[in-house]
Structure 1
Amino acid sequence: MMPVEDFEALARGCPETVTLELINGKLEVKAVRDGDHGTIFMWLLRQCLRHRPDLDLHPEQGLMVEPHRQGRARPYGALAPRRHFAGQGEWAPTSGVLMTVDMTSYDDDHASACPYAAAGIPLRLLIDRRSGTFAVRSEPDSVRYRHQRLYDFGEAVALPHPVSITVNTEELKNYTG
């Protein structure tokens, strides 16, 4: 079990080619993002800004997760009200975060399992490039999300309350294997 203070010191000195997280006291390494990741993120950012200009989608914002904020996670995106993370520093509390976004890479075995539900974040969006799908997870409890809806790239994806937007994913068919 790695103490949070040790993790934060290690993460500060980590090269930009690696993303570290502390989940359940264990160090996790996330894959480096490629150009398609960035393109998909920018697509989602534009969708969010078009439909909800009152919200910001922050790339790789560090979040304090788990009981007593002892975990550290970096979702690919964190959707929150505008200016929500101003003055928060590298690791911010999860209160006020409406949705996290993660993406698989072609070399990932699976998306990292982070405790966003236990932190009370209402929605989790997982974009799976290998299968060409979106998983929209909602209704968090203290352990997991109780509801999941799966969409194929090309379908209209309905993001429920509190985000309450629908996005057309046809463009994303260009970024699958």
Structure 2
Amino acid sequence: MTPSTTQRPHISAEDFEELASQAPEHVELEFIEGRLYVKGDHIEIEDFEELARKAPKGVRLELINGKLEVKPMPDPRHGAIAMWLIRLCMQERPELALYPDQGLRIGTYRKGHARPDGVLAPLDHFIAQGGEWCDTDGVLMVVEVTSHDRDTDRRDRVEKPQGYAEAGIPVYLLIDRDNRTVVVRSEPENGEYRQSPVYHFGDVIELPAPVNITLNTEKLKDYAD
């Protein structure tokens, strides 16, 4: 199946204007064809965190491979998939929680900042760190559910796997709605995952250690679009 490339704006003009007015003094933002850019294509970590803190409600910023990104807002089927997975993880591993949109410092030297659709970690794991962005130590798995936008291939299938592998996260689960597949990346080494088996919606999947959860993905057929 050919991936969808719906040309939805990542951020509205009104939200851009509000965000630009709150940007750090030496950070100049640009708004081109519905996309948010930093002039000069570079932003310091401290400036990014300040900008993300001041973002308008509903605007979720990420820093992936050194580039400023706006995470798409989830559609109803996207949210239904996330809830399905949250409930399943709670049933099989009640000592863990799948945290939605938890900010993580990823990539080489923790210089990337991502908001996975789900972060599997022990209950109350992030309380001690506090703040919007946390380190990945103790994270068992991250989850992304593809969105129907023009950047999903680069973001979810290429750049985020690299960042998650560099951070040493044991498992990256990608629920790919465009291809109706589930990709289970594991065994991170030297900035990439050594294992990346692909399953189809409807398959029964045994997620590897340290996750150790069985996914019966038959329900995902109901959410395919």
Same topology, TM > 0.5:
yes
Matched, 1:68 2:109: yes
- In structure 2, distance between residues paired with 1:37 and 1:16: 19
- Structure 1 match to 2:66: 25
Specify which of 205, 211, 220 is matched with residue 157 of structure 1. Answer: 205
For residue 52 of structure 2, give the secondary structure of its aligned residue in structure 1. helix
Deviations 1:16-62 (A, max 9, x none): 33221112322112211111111111100111011001111000100
Greater share of strand: 1
**Unmatched 5+ residue regions in structure 1?**
none
Rounded to whole Å, the distance in 2 between the matches of 1:149 and 1:9 is 38
Does 2:132 correspond to 1:90?
yes
CA offset digits 1:77-113 (Å, max 9, x no partner):
1000111111322100000000000011122442432
- Give the letter aligned to residue 144 of structure 1: E
1:1-177 to 2 correspondences below 5 Å:
1-88=42-129, 89-108=131-150, 109-110=152-153, 111-112=155-156, 113-114=159-160, 115-177=163-225
For structure 2, the 5+ residue unaligned runs are: 1-41
Distance in 1, matches of 2:57 and 2:142, equals 21
SS at match of 2:134: strand
RMSD of aligned C-alpha atoms?
A: 1.3
| Bigger radius of gyration | 2
Residue 123 of structure 1 deviates from its aligned partner by: 0.1
Calculate percent identity across the aligned residue pairs: 54
Matched residues, number:
177
TM-score by length of 1: 0.95
Structure with more of its chain in helix, by fraction: 2
Quick one: distance in 2 between partners of 1:16 and 1:32? 11
